Structure 1
């Protein structure tokens, strides 16, 4: 008993030293069992993972945090580097969730409006040419109902102003593939990365500040987070802190997976190629093209700092004695904005389309709302369920790109939450579908293990 008490005190002290809230750790046996289960998932030869970092929060306290595997795979010239508390991950679409915090702060300050015509801030009349009488609003962008599409691209070079992309006749408008010809703004859900490029540009236009620095001022610096959208512009980030992302397939073109083959770096391989700034950054004018900072997917942040964001939202927008967002702003952010129609309307062609194989069932402002839906038909599963037997509903966001897979989700009422980031995958996830959701089987195993091992009552 004395040894257990000392271990618990040490764990709490380590959490404070790492910048997190004092944790109430799991009982030693329960934590050990969860660690073994997660290690087995990482080592599974059917879907090996190069690295995994997880956090579990129960009743508003961090109760479990572990890292597995490497942030850099061993090479002929250097040994493997393990994931640690300082490791920064390029968290893909979880970036959208964090970008939303900055946008909502500007709404709170009266510099942006959820329902005003965004053209008034951008400085040009922005319309879907197929529906010229329907203004585009920030609420539409945040809920993926803007009628924009990714078919025309979602990231453009610094010298390209988005005005030239979005307006007919612009130098980068092309055939107008970025606009839906079938669905009016506000009428249809379709998950679109480009929405967040427009949001970042809108934020810049409203403030005159570059998006990456604006996010630091509004969110990261007040919270004391080591996080940012442009590595060289925030400190004390170091290249060696950043995890490389991997797959066991070639980076470009090749579709063949080899679970027994070597790990192939996909992005952030800074041990080989140093990071570079976006081109022509010194001449860039804020409000022209916020896509260059990757607001849809290029945030680099640790799981510990993601946990701080989660705790802030659980605590009504308050973090370490500072009010980051007003309680009403947090409430507005998580108010339900869109729900999948069971018959396939409002964002679901033929019952699926906009819901991405049945994964998306509801949305708030910049956040997926996990409804605990599981549908199994003819042996195929779909839905947004996170725990095999059900029972966990939450808000947050998924992320996957470059091999990375991530989840940030919490229940605002129970104040329970789960975070995980995998630094890659060793086999084709589409060939290993889930048993009870639209996720791949290895993703289901991680969330199910975290919930049962650290959050569910016993």
Structure 2
């Protein structure tokens, strides 16, 4: 099986970047190191797909483990080059591509009051004189919070969630009472549900279809936010996400217990549309399509997106985004200053992970420190030396990284479909990430990008 997977990776490279591919002995050695991480009994992984790009060319691609684990009635199905993952928060990064395309087309403005798009006045009631803009949503400075929820059913209009007096407004927990719009960074999923709704209002069609027309179809990608748009052959390719943790209830971890499907268990049941989707009103609630975390895409298609961005928005013969739009998207919008609530952002979120941000993308500026007795920061490789832009993703057992250095055109992608132990109990040595995540990026960096 290992030999077959190695040959598969080499066949991918032969059609995409044969001149740049790692020599076979180096590629085989790198595969062995990654397999050791996947098989580590302290943190087994259900599957792992990786791509490394050096100087703008793919030098290594590999898939290990199973997109669906064995059951009593069916054998395991190995991950392969077509395996698609529910990519968690890397979805936000891809959503931002569609948003920036609409900005480029003049259908959206980064600094307009989003009330103008939504058709109703939207304000944080604690700061009624502060308009909220698309720039604030993309940079997590909108003053929205996730405490009031961030995904709503198709028959819910977000106006009834966001505006005082609405039937889903509750206690108004979705609004910060202390931080005004545009002044403070706090990572929030709900921003992306509002972004998708604004896109629908400006574009006149459902978010998932907008993304297909703006990004996926021009690049000839199978990726999508809504599984009903996939051909049956593509649904087969979607990986099930696993943890050795209960799915519901008290959600206890049991590293010695069975793998438990958490999401996309399509080996047992077909994907189903959200109840009431047939009555959905476009522009009322884009959160139903999961713009913050429900994109299904393969690691190889993520690599295609990365190469497009490295090449000034050009994918083969198609100019997906203008070079100026790409530059704007990755321009620094926020850098952490101060500490905690006394500064300009939540410096404690996820053990101090976030230090800088662009428009829908994290800037990894190579910070490593110790906070509250554990490693903290956005460092990607041991000892430092790699900075870049991109996004992390983790949810339902899925763990992913999409990051690249725009100047050097070096990049790393990894996607894992399941963890066999609680990552919080295995913290990293030099960053806010878990140790297994650090090991993956470090091995990719040294074995593919820095390899000679």
The two structures have a TM-score, normalised by structure 1, of 0.94
Aligned partner of 2:188 in structure 1 is 192
Aligned partner of 1:308 in structure 2 is 304
Whether the aligned pair in 1 keeps the contact of 2:17 and 2:59 (CA below 8 Å) is: no
Whether the aligned pair in 2 keeps the contact of 1:23 and 1:62 (CA below 8 Å) is: no
Aligned partner of 2:321 in structure 1 is 325
Aligned partner of 2:361 in structure 1 is 367
Whether the aligned pair in 2 keeps the contact of 1:48 and 1:259 (CA below 8 Å) is: no
Match for residue 290 of structure 1 among 276, 286, 290: 286
Which SS does the other structure have where 2:151 is aligned? coil
Which SS does the other structure have where 2:64 is aligned? strand
CA 1:364/1:254 → structure 2, altered by over 3 Å: closer, same or farther? same
2-side partners of 1:30 and 1:330: how far apart?
A: 33
1-side partners of 2:93 and 2:259: how far apart?
A: 29
Pair 1:83 & 2:73 matched: no
2-side partners of 1:260 and 1:425: how far apart?
A: 12
Alignment of 1:101-180 (within 5 A): 101-180=97-176
Aligned partner of 2:402 in structure 1 is 408
Unaligned runs of 5+ in 2: 1-5
Pair 1:376 & 2:367 matched: no
Aligned partner of 1:385 in structure 2 is 379
Aligned partner of 1:439 in structure 2 is 433
- For residues 12-33 of structure 1, give each alpha carbon's deviation from its aligned partner in whole angstroms, at most 9, with x where no partner exists: 764465xx45562102221111
Aligned partner of 1:450 in structure 2 is 444
Whether the aligned pair in 1 keeps the contact of 2:13 and 2:59 (CA below 8 Å) is: no
Unaligned runs of 5+ in 1: 1-7
Which SS does the other structure have where 2:391 is aligned? strand
Whether the aligned pair in 1 keeps the contact of 2:351 and 2:371 (CA below 8 Å) is: no
Deviation for aligned residue 1:320? 1.3
2-side partners of 1:419 and 1:72: how far apart?
A: 21
2-side partners of 1:304 and 1:173: how far apart?
A: 41
- For residues 356-409 of structure 1, give each alpha carbon's deviation from its aligned partner in whole angstroms, at most 9, with x where no partner exists: 311100000000000011103575210100000110000000000001100000
1-side partners of 2:195 and 2:422: how far apart?
A: 32
2-side partners of 1:347 and 1:247: how far apart?
A: 35
CA 1:170/1:10 → structure 2, altered by over 3 Å: closer, same or farther? closer
CA 1:364/1:410 → structure 2, altered by over 3 Å: closer, same or farther? same
Deviation for aligned residue 1:446? 0.3
Whether the aligned pair in 2 keeps the contact of 1:121 and 1:205 (CA below 8 Å) is: yes
Aligned partner of 1:3 in structure 2 is none
Whether the aligned pair in 1 keeps the contact of 2:362 and 2:390 (CA below 8 Å) is: yes
1-side partners of 2:429 and 2:211: how far apart?
A: 38
2-side partners of 1:301 and 1:416: how far apart?
A: 21
Which SS does the other structure have where 1:52 is aligned? strand
Match for residue 98 of structure 1 among 94, 97, 102: 94
Whether the aligned pair in 2 keeps the contact of 1:246 and 1:403 (CA below 8 Å) is: yes
1-side partners of 2:215 and 2:345: how far apart?
A: 34
Which SS does the other structure have where 1:121 is aligned? helix
1-side partners of 2:49 and 2:163: how far apart?
A: 43
CA 1:169/1:21 → structure 2, altered by over 3 Å: closer, same or farther? farther
Aligned partner of 1:426 in structure 2 is 420
2-side partners of 1:10 and 1:116: how far apart?
A: 48
Deviation for aligned residue 1:210? 0.4
2-side partners of 1:72 and 1:343: how far apart?
A: 43
Aligned partner of 1:356 in structure 2 is 350
CA 1:235/1:273 → structure 2, altered by over 3 Å: closer, same or farther? closer
CA 1:13/1:428 → structure 2, altered by over 3 Å: closer, same or farther? closer
Deviation for aligned residue 1:236? 6.3
2-side partners of 1:208 and 1:23: how far apart?
A: 44
Aligned partner of 1:208 in structure 2 is 204
1-side partners of 2:165 and 2:17: how far apart?
A: 53
Which SS does the other structure have where 1:89 is aligned? strand
Which SS does the other structure have where 2:197 is aligned? helix
Whether the aligned pair in 2 keeps the contact of 1:12 and 1:24 (CA below 8 Å) is: no
2-side partners of 1:377 and 1:118: how far apart?
A: 37
Whether the aligned pair in 1 keeps the contact of 2:82 and 2:298 (CA below 8 Å) is: yes
Aligned partner of 1:334 in structure 2 is 330
2-side partners of 1:12 and 1:305: how far apart?
A: 17
Aligned partner of 2:34 in structure 1 is 38
CA 1:16/1:374 → structure 2, altered by over 3 Å: closer, same or farther? same
